[in-house]
Structure 1
């Protein structure tokens, strides 16, 4: 097992250095030399006398001390104490710790590394141990002998040098200790802590001759009269060539037998050597032989001969002889012309040039930040860039055409495609994940229609043609229909005709009722797609309204965070409660091109995600946000924790409580609300996975803060909502009124845009309408609000000080279109005349306002088809049949098939049969009601039995 899995002990006492132990013959046992080659470890470490650490084993505390060994006072001893017992003085730290572990816990298999537990691999402990150490011994290897250098002389006569090593003396292992003192050389031999023999002499050779040890190292390799033979010379040349030396002799062998070899890569390093050779006469070739060329006689001295020879060798073959290419010579001449002979090169200023203009990079960034072009992943991030995966909504070539039309002067096609390669951008044809509306009102009806065609159309050609048309229509509604819709920068839109695909006349009249139902479902799905497109475009429109005094807020709950450990058993996985994590993203304008994003993440042990928890999180954000905005606009999904009457009533008091104006709240379409907060949650999930993967444990909320505290622009804090709202109220009547259950505002689920005016005729009102910029406002007066919600209390949550991120989170503001062109489009939209409207009403096949949720027949809460009493009786019979005999238990699918059999027997009509998902919901509700009823009966029976028992007594 790696030592990294053990926690080092806490330093209690540093201990002391004893010179005769730590710098004497026995230093090998008083210094810790690590055999590992880790760069982080600095070897060696002194084992100080009196050193003490406190360790923790199985949540029990122990102390480990270093003392002198009882058997040999020159050796260290280790003792571990704790829990009323001790290990005794042992020669090894691991042995001491494992001995007391067996005594206290009775386990023999657990082994602890002593050096790790003492902190010899901990940087802080090592720093404390080495704080007053002036010299640390080091090791020199000579064959199989390790020589420990204890001290180094600081004088020219080697006075003060000492070293030791282990070697056999008289066939027994001994410590050889040698030192230089008072100009004498001493060698002492120790065995079992006692000195056995001592030698001294005036030189190292004489004193080693006395010991008769290591005589093979005391011979002369070459004497003064030795002559090298031809074979020996060849061997030396091979050695020189193997280590990278080159022959630089400036003359031939017929002039002199002397050879010069150099291993310097830079010729400047040989300058001093050549100078010394010249003054000693080794370069004076005239004293060895007669010049063979008459032209050399023209030179006045031997230096001229040398440089003439150098020029000849250079001209002859510079590449092989001197390893100098013509390019190098040309560069040298060029350097001489620019900088002068022997001068350094002029340092030119470093100019950093970007390959792409900043404005073009910003255009690319904003193009792929638009939800019209990409879908952000809520779960996956790119491993290289650590950014959330962006799924392209179309193929790369189609996106390039769209980009080039929008930015004709932007980056070129090659640069555009290169940025999409091997990064966070991915294209998936089968972009998975359907919301409930898409599944129930789009894909399921199409599957039913295809099945209907397959069963009733006999002509194969007509059948295949109709099925192909249905599949093309399904793909068009899912992918291409959104591209036909257009929303302006200010969040408004204009009319675009769409085709009505009618299927009523494809079959007999007996299927009219069923086909009308399918048509209503498809219209519901088409409206869902239209609202999704329109509401998704509101984000950029809202960002365009940002100024220095305002902020845009996006909120969402993350899926519950569960405890996790690196090693987790199956039984530990189940039964987890986890923590709630609520995220508030605050967008504030930094300058004309950038905006600052602050992520306020609040975790809590309270797992009830309701209006009160949401309001408490906003209260905490308002108290910590910096700078504090004057107005805000909020965007979220339409989950029940946001889209509810209680929260709408609480928001109406925010201006009075916090001084912040709420200019609106936009709820996005259910199942399709993919915003920046989803990518933030994906980053959090990746950070938590990495935190657990490196060996940390996620067992408390504080571990969440440690895991995600380094994310850009992210602050983390714990929050606990104070759900006891009436502690300060003394009036019992007010308490009773405030404890009443909040009534639901009629039609609240149909309105996606809300507003809370703070001045004018509607001051104090709550206003709502179908969509932003569409529909008439529905006003709710303060009296009506009080009727629905009663008294509204201000949240007073308890929250910790949030962490502060060192890295800011910056993003680019969306680029606005030409204001003149936008105004012309907007005026054209507003100035549509009555004749055009009449033409639209006449030609357009769908009714005016068909996409508004308030005009839908399907998809509304509580607007589904009720189960008839007759069908309920059959379902109850099926349910109880399984209680009598588990083998006869009915599933929802089996109940559905049984009801269809009753239709064939004319017991029920086809319209009365509920869908499978409706039957599943009924089973859940009826099962809970049955259990409640059985519990109440059992409780009543127990009360009767208890009362009868008391009466008898």
Structure 2
């Protein structure tokens, strides 16, 4: 016992080191402290996995057969204890470049989709596209246009997700469609239910109303034909002739379209079966829908001009696509309700510059974003923004084509007069300025604005704030191909004193006798400037082009003057009853006095407060009694606007009286 404790009986004395046990203990410790997986235990175990049998490794390291097998495979592929290198991910695109370009061109065509200018798809960070037709109908169109393109399954796969959405009601994307088209149909159904008592005819007319609504929203645009170069031609069907709608057609028409004629037949049948003797409301709804019809007709032609102008670009010409983004408001990562009210934001004006690339069929696109605390959207701001772009371009073009919506900040005399001086100031000629239809100018610049909105929201979610204009620059500066800068228009322009007016007129060779007052001098200068603009005004492009042979089985031969009530040029804005600022009927002084009486009665006693509907009923009673003319009774919406305006004025007057009283 004494000899055993002292180590004389052990096969290996204590003072000798057992290197085998040290090896297995060390290796066991190394395996245990490493993580599972090919970059941990498997890599460590691969050092000895092929040197020892399974049983010996299992008994010494307490590992499974699978762990040893994985380690041996690791040693075979990467070497004993070797590092695993990630293989490059190779993505093979099954579609050819030509097929991808065909699909992209088809899905970017505004005849097929409507692009959202603020909503983006979370997966792709690209703007949402609303399909104008069902996916099946779009596939048929695509297959007709590109018979050798992608197959049906691939086409439907590309439309999956939330980027392409089919929605029946697209009125919210355009104020004109919403006001003059989408809301009127609900009023029509209400009129049918109220004034047509025969239930069978009533149900028939409601079904026809729904069908007409769908036709005008979805299929009406497909009946017009505009070539790829943006031109149209005479169509023997008067419903489909854009030249007739734009007062440019000199040929005769012998056909009408049954589907398009349903619009006029529908209103005629309502009038026939209605028990109402006064058809003013029905005629008013018809006029609203005619304005919507003209809006849709102009949209078809004008939307085709974007692609047509891109195709017309050459090395000496650039296309400027201009638009304002909605005002950017301050944002913080943690914002209370009190912080939100009363915000003052910044204007953001964007200009996309399209130019050709030598020896290539592709176009180069540069984006210039100008933010400014000056929120006045007028001709001077627009001219300053264009000036900044022209001074920034590396290679200034010889001529430009400008496209924009029909907003008053673009479509005005002041800006056109400034454009007339571009050849002298910048040596750049303005070929033409194309004004797209209001509310429907959904172009690539809307995609750019959607990207900006997404980038700003992401910037705020990361914990940053949008409190200054520099924060806007920091948020969107990483968008590829985009330049962003502050724009401060110089509004300290020369005042037109009498001496300045005399100097400007004399420089134009106008003789003065010195007796003219300032008003007469201003009128004379305005006349001279108008003459200069007329001399330098560009000839408007005539709507002509190649004849398109279209066979329409839904047309009939007839005397078009008997069945088609619209005159030549009916789609032009100057021939429209609605949509003109200040062109509506004015409220008479007698009606205004009655409304003021109803309003003041409600202020004196809240129990006698009149709503807009109550005021309209009282005015209708006055019309029946002969006190006012029935045609002078305004609409409910007009009365609501008058109430809002009058309420605001009374509050301002009350606040002014309180301030004056406190100052006494």
Q: Residue 708 of structure 1: CA displacement?
A: 0.2
Specify the alignment match of 2:221 in structure 1: 482
Question: Is it true that 1:878 corresponds to 2:598 in the alignment?
Answer: yes
Contact 1:551/1:587 (8 A) holds in 2: yes
Alignment partner, residue 12 of structure 2? 224
CA distance in 1 between partners of 2:13 and 2:538 (Å): 113
In the TM superposition, what is the alpha-carbon distance from 1:637 to its structure 2 partner?
A: 1.1
> Which of 412, 430, 445 is residue 677 of structure 1 equivalent to?
445
Q: Partners in 2 of 1:519 and 1:898 — Cα distance? A: 26
Aligned to 1:899: 619
The corresponding residue for 2:509 is none
Alignment partner, residue 292 of structure 2: 525
Distance 1:392 1:587 in 2: 26
CA distance in 1, matches of 2:653, 2:538: 42
Between 1 and 2, higher relative CO (CA 8 Å, sep ≥ 6) is seen in 2
Change (3 A) 1:766 1:741: farther
Cα–Cα, structure 1 residues 353 and 671, in superposed 2: closer, same or farther, change >3 Å?
Answer: closer
1:862 and 2:582 are equivalent in the alignment = yes
* Equivalent pair of 1:588/1:595 in contact (CA under 8 Å): yes
Q: Secondary structure at 1:488's aligned position in 2?
A: coil
Residue 501 of structure 1, aligned match among 264, 273, 287: 264
Is 1:719 the counterpart of 2:487? The answer is yes
Residues 653-693 of structure 1, C-alpha deviations (whole Å, 9 max, x = no match):
11211111111111111222211111211111111111111
Which SS does the other structure have where 2:484 is aligned? strand
User: What is the deviation of 1:580?
Assistant: 1.1
Q: Could you tell me how far apart the structure 1 residues matched to 2:601 and 2:526 are?
A: 39
Please give the TM-score of this superposition, normalised by the length of structure 1.
0.53
Which 10-residue stretch deviates more, 708-717 or 558-567?
558-567
Shift of 1:915: 1.3
Mapped pair 1:633 → 2:372: no
Match 1:430 to one of 156, 164, 169: 169
Distance in 1 of aligned mates of 2:327 and 2:374: 11
Residue 703 of structure 1 aligns to a residue whose secondary structure is: helix
Deviations for 1:803-860, whole angstroms, at most 9, x for unmatched residues?
xxxxxxxxxxxxxxxxxxxx7536x89xxxxxx9996656644222211112223332
Please name the residue that 1:699 is paired with.
Answer: 467
Residue 564 of structure 1 deviates from its aligned partner by: 1.4
1:265 to 17, 36, 46: 46
Is 2:315 the partner of 1:566? Answer: no
* Partner secondary structure for residue 471 of structure 1: helix
For residues 911 and 937 of structure 1, what CA distance do their matches in structure 2 show?
A: 38
CA contact (8 A) 2:31 2:45 kept: no
- Partner of residue 121, structure 1: none
Match of 1:516 in 2: 283
Q: Tell me which protein shows more strand as a share of its residues.
A: 1
CA distance in 2, matches of 1:438, 1:268: 74
Distance 1:451 1:744 in 2: 52
Secondary structure of the residue that 2:108 maps to in structure 1? coil
Deviations 1:230-273 (A, max 9, x none): xxx9xx99x979969xxxxxxxxxxxxxxxxx985378963xx9
Alpha-carbon distance in 2 for matches of 1:646, 1:353: 54
Instruction: State the Cα distance separating 1:601 from its structure 2 match.
Output: 0.6
**Is contact 1:646-1:742 (8 Å) kept?**
no
CA contact (8 A) 1:841 1:847 kept: no
Of the candidates 537, 541, 548, which is equivalent to residue 765 of structure 1?
A: 537
Query: Aligned equivalents of 2:169 and 2:179: distance in 1?
Result: 19
Q: CA deviation at 1:892?
A: 3.2
Tell me which residue corresponds to 1:547: 314
Partner Cα separation in structure 2 for residue 661 and residue 731 of structure 1: 32
Q: SS where residue 731 of structure 1 aligns?
A: helix
- Deviations, residues 144-195 of structure 1 (Å, cap 9, x unaligned): xxxxxxxxxxxxxxxxxxxxxxxxxxxxxxxxxxxxxxxxxxxxxxxxxxxx
Distance in 2 of aligned mates of 1:578 and 1:442 = 33
Q: Partner of 2:376 in structure 1?
A: 608
Decide whether aligned partners of structure 1 residues 431 and 508 sit closer, same or farther in structure 2, where only a CA change above 3 A counts. same
Bigger drift between 463-472 and 493-502 goes to: 493-502
Shift of 1:375: 1.0
Which of 642, 648, 660 is the matching residue for 2:416?
A: 648
Give the corresponding residue for 2:195.
456
| SS of structure 2 residue aligned to 1:452 | helix
Q: Secondary structure at the match of 1:551?
A: strand
Q: Is 1:579–1:605's contact at 8 Å kept on the other side of the alignment?
A: yes
Pairing of 1:713-792 with structure 2 (within 5 A): 713-726=481-494, 731-733=499-501, 763-765=535-537, 773-774=542-543
Q: How far apart, CA to CA, are the structure 2 residues paired with 1:241 and 1:726? A: 86
| Cα offset, 1:912, TM superposition | 2.4
Who is 1:387 aligned against? 126
Number of corresponding residues: 563
CA distance in 2, matches of 1:837, 1:865: 40
In structure 2, C-alpha distance between the alignment counterparts of 1:677 and 1:738, rounded to whole Å? 44
SS at match of 1:881: helix
Give the Cα separation in 2 of the matches to 1:936 and 1:733. 39
Residues 501, 525 of structure 2: 8 Å contact kept:
no
Q: For 1:880, what is the secondary structure of its paired residue?
A: helix
Whether contact under 8 Å (2:227, 2:546) holds in the other structure is no
Gapped regions of structure 1 (runs ≥ 5) = 1-218, 227-232, 245-261, 275-318, 336-348, 749-755, 776-822, 830-835, 947-953
Alignment counterpart, residue 537 of structure 1, candidates 284, 288, 304? 304
TM-score by length of 2: 0.74
Quote the Cα distance in structure 2 between the aligned partners of 1:767 and 1:934: 55
The answer to whether the Cα contact below 8 Å between 2:381 and 2:489 also exists between their aligned partners in 1 is yes
Go from structure 1 to structure 2 and tell me whether the alpha carbon gap of 1:380 and 1:937 turns closer, same or farther (over 3 Å shift): closer
Secondary structure of 1:438's match? helix
| Residue in structure 1 matching 2:547, options 825, 828, 832 | 825
Distance 1:871 1:242 in 2: 96
CA distance in 2, matches of 1:912, 1:620: 50
The residue number in structure 1 matching 2:248 is none
Q: 1:380 to 1:612 in 2, by over 3 A?
A: same
Could you tell which deviates more after superposition, 349-358 or 367-376? 349-358
Q: Which runs of 5+ in 2 are unaligned?
A: 1-6, 15-20, 33-42, 54-64, 78-87, 241-256, 505-517, 551-555
Task: Give the SS at the match of 2:264.
Answer: coil
- Residue 640 of structure 2: aligned partner: 920
| Structure 2 Cα separation of the partners of residues 931 and 225 of structure 1 | 107
Trace 1:34-113 onto structure 2 (pairs within 5 A). none
Q: Is the 1:705–1:717 Cα contact (8 Å) retained in structure 2?
A: yes
Classify 1:444/1:242 alpha carbon distance in 2 versus 1 (closer, same or farther; 3 Å). closer
- Where 1:433 maps in the other structure, the secondary structure is helix
Does the Cα contact within 8 Å between 1:644 and 1:744 map onto a contact in 2? no
CA separation in 2, counterparts of 1:608 and 1:744? 24
- 1:883, CA displacement in angstroms? 3.8
